[in-house]
Chains A and B, each alone.
Chain A
Amino acid sequence: MSTTAAAIFNRPTPAKRAETVVFWLLRLATYFVLFCAAFIFIDIGWKGGSVVFRTQAPFLNVPFLTEAPETLNVFTLDGQPRTMGDRAFRAFKATHEAELKGVRIETYVYSAGGIFPNIVGTVLLVAGSVLIALVLGVLSAIYLSEYATDGPFIRFLRLAIINLAGVPSIVFGLFGFGLFVIALDFGVSLLAGWLTMAFMVLPIIITASEEALKAVPRGYREGSLALGATKFQAITTNVLPYALPGILTSSVLSIARVAGETAPIMFTAAFVVRDELPWQVAKWTDFFFQGVMALPYHIYVVASKIPQNEYTRDVQYGTAFVFLFTVAAIAMTAVILRQRLRKRYKW
């Protein structure tokens, strides 16, 4: 008895000490990551939030969310510092021509007005490319998991798809530029951006869809077939609906990726600035062949192409904040949709 007690009671061994050290290392690593992430979110949330939100009704900075970017003009008149968006400044200049003579005017591009066209552009880019990727991805996954018989060719195909997932996004951007923008002559356009980003996320969607399809019990397929369904009927009525929640899970991931990427759109779809909104087109077919402004590209531009000072800070942080919020909102929509479907098809 006493020997057992001595053995088990409070005896530090080298193995135990190693365990404690490793445990603390793991814990600190996690805390460090959390701290960094929290710092970024709080910084953007605080500085960006103060741009987007207002303390008085309507509590939102409506112009920032509904107007197009403008150049900011900064000057001192009669000893008073003034800041003005381009349109307001032109009107002001017309009436104050004489007083402005000799006044030094600093201009900062994109720092006045809002980011409405960028929000619209990003939503359009995400919606279109995820739709294209889902259709193509689900069809490919159905082929791979339900129809293709395993062989060297199919194995090669799978390997190729997996490797595609590791290709850097800038390479997709160049690929899209070469194929869609130049060779197929789409120009810098929504369509070129959609296809480029769709290809970029296809590997995620195909792999996840295949897994979701595989998770549907065999019995449902066999049950359908035994009732005289064709394979295609069995898949559409009795396999795919149950796999959809899983497929949507993967699409949430790809939405975040598509919304966030700058590299693939900067050659294929994004304009630094464009005056018309996407629905202001002459023919409906023009819709697909127009470039758009987009949030991530705008962030890139305002963060790297204009000076950093108190006049440009608002648009920088505000855009980042709205961008984070937009991505989160799109992802949430997919999560809610998935939850709904889950409830409907449970087994």
Chain B
Amino acid sequence: MRAISVAPAAPVDAAVRAIIEIDDIDFHYGPARALHDITLNIKERQVTAFIGPSGCGKSTLLRCLNRMNDLIDGARVTAGQIRIDGVNIYDPRVDAIELRKRVGMVFQKSNPFPKSIYDNITYGLRIQGEKNKGRLDEVVERSLRGAALWDEVKDRLHESALGMSGGQQQRLCIARAIAVEPEIILMDEPCSALDPIATAKVEELIHELKKQFTIVIVTHNMQQAARCSDRTAFFYLGKLIEFADTRTIFMNPANPQTEAYVSGRFG
């Protein structure tokens, strides 16, 4: 960890393995540089929050982690490495499809497919060729329970997912992501379109999910980062300004820019 680390890391840190190692990453959209020398480690079964003002590169970095940026013309990692489980995910031998099965993603704008709830959850398994009805049923129940949605929708699994409320739709997207049993879940401002009650439910869910998954969450909402995350990274203009224990970032930041941002003086 080369970032300006302040307080000693939280006690759990030392023992926990770093599952994602971001090592000196540069990223360009065509000629425009979006990320500058980012280095940070994300630990297994923790929630890591990315905060920072709009346009500072949080989403860009997040989308590097499951190579979602591959799909944008002219967008590429120009230097550095990202290792997951020790493997450089930008190695040409790495299969981005397999990677995305291991690294799930929940988008800012919830995107349930215009299919039934059941078909949404089983989508990931079906495209992998799973046809066994019993197994699919089981996964649907487990995923929906995992996303704290089972009781609300168990009687209308075969109705369109678009009939759900906004908060339910976002939790459905989370359920859909965990149905393929990833190790890591990336969330890009998952609550930005939700009301406070739905937001609270998703946050509660994040607490539950971290027992099983490693979570990286981008958020605009400082309270949310403070409530949900174990560690927080603050970005500004494509640079990592500070990365530390969430408590340290909020109570005792080392960098004056961080302090200004978390206290709401800009951004």
Which A residues fall within an 8 A CB radius of B?
149-150, 217, 219-230, 233, 237-238, 242, 345-347
B73 contact set on A, CB distance < 8 A = 149-150
- A222, B97: Cα distance in complex, Å: 12
The 8 closest A-B pairs by CB, nearest first: A219-B111, A228-B101, A227-B124, A226-B105, A347-B114, A223-B111, A228-B100, A229-B127
- A346, B66: Cα distance in complex, Å: 29
* Segment at the interface with A among B8-16, B173-181, B224-232: B173-181
What distance in Å separates the Cβ of B191 from its nearest Cβ neighbour in chain A? 17
Question: Across the interface, do B111 and A227 meet the contact criterion of CB distance under 8 Å?
Answer: no
Given A227-B127, A229-B97, 10 more A-B residue pairs with CB atoms under 8 Å apart are: A217-B111, A219-B107, A220-B114, A223-B111, A224-B123, A225-B100, A226-B104, A227-B177, A228-B180, A346-B160
Which B residues fall within an 8 A CB radius of A?
66, 68, 71, 73, 97-98, 100-101, 104-105, 107, 109, 111, 113-114, 123-124, 127-128, 160, 162, 173, 176-177, 180
Most chain A CB within a 10 A radius of its CB, from B68, B101, B113, B180: B113
Question: Across the interface, do B107 and A223 meet the contact criterion of CB distance under 8 Å?
Answer: yes
A345 contact set on B, CB distance < 8 A = 114
Nearest A residue to B179, CB-CB: A227
A346-B97 in contact given A223-B111, A226-B105, A238-B113 (Cβ < 8 Å): no
Provide the main secondary structure of the chain A interface: helix
B98 contact set on A, CB distance < 8 A = 228
What distance in Å separates the Cβ of A238 from its nearest Cβ neighbour in chain B? 6
Nearest B residue to A221, CB-CB: B71
Question: Across the interface, do A222 and B104 meet the contact criterion of CB distance under 8 Å?
Answer: no
B107 contact set on A, CB distance < 8 A = 219, 222-223, 226
Question: Across the interface, do A226 and B162 meet the contact criterion of CB distance under 8 Å?
Answer: no
- A149, B73: Cα distance in complex, Å: 7
What distance in Å separates the Cβ of A150 from its nearest Cβ neighbour in chain B? 7
B160 contact set on A, CB distance < 8 A = 346
What distance in Å separates the Cβ of B95 from its nearest Cβ neighbour in chain A? 10
Q: Supply 17 A–B pairs (Cβ within 8 Å), ascending by A.
A: A150-B73, A217-B111, A220-B111, A220-B113, A221-B71, A223-B107, A223-B113, A224-B113, A225-B100, A226-B105, A226-B177, A227-B100, A227-B101, A228-B97, A228-B98, A237-B127, A347-B114
Question: Across the interface, do A226 and B68 meet the contact criterion of CB distance under 8 Å?
Answer: yes
What distance in Å separates the Cβ of B4 from its nearest Cβ neighbour in chain A? 32
- A140, B177: Cα distance in complex, Å: 32
A226 contact set on B, CB distance < 8 A = 66, 68, 100, 104-105, 107, 177
Question: Across the interface, do A225 and B68 meet the contact criterion of CB distance under 8 Å?
Answer: yes
- A147, B113: Cα distance in complex, Å: 22
B176 contact set on A, CB distance < 8 A = 223, 227
- A228, B176: Cα distance in complex, Å: 12
B113 contact set on A, CB distance < 8 A = 220, 223-224, 238
- A229, B66: Cα distance in complex, Å: 13
Nearest A residue to B125, CB-CB: A227
- A346, B100: Cα distance in complex, Å: 27
A347 contact set on B, CB distance < 8 A = 114, 162
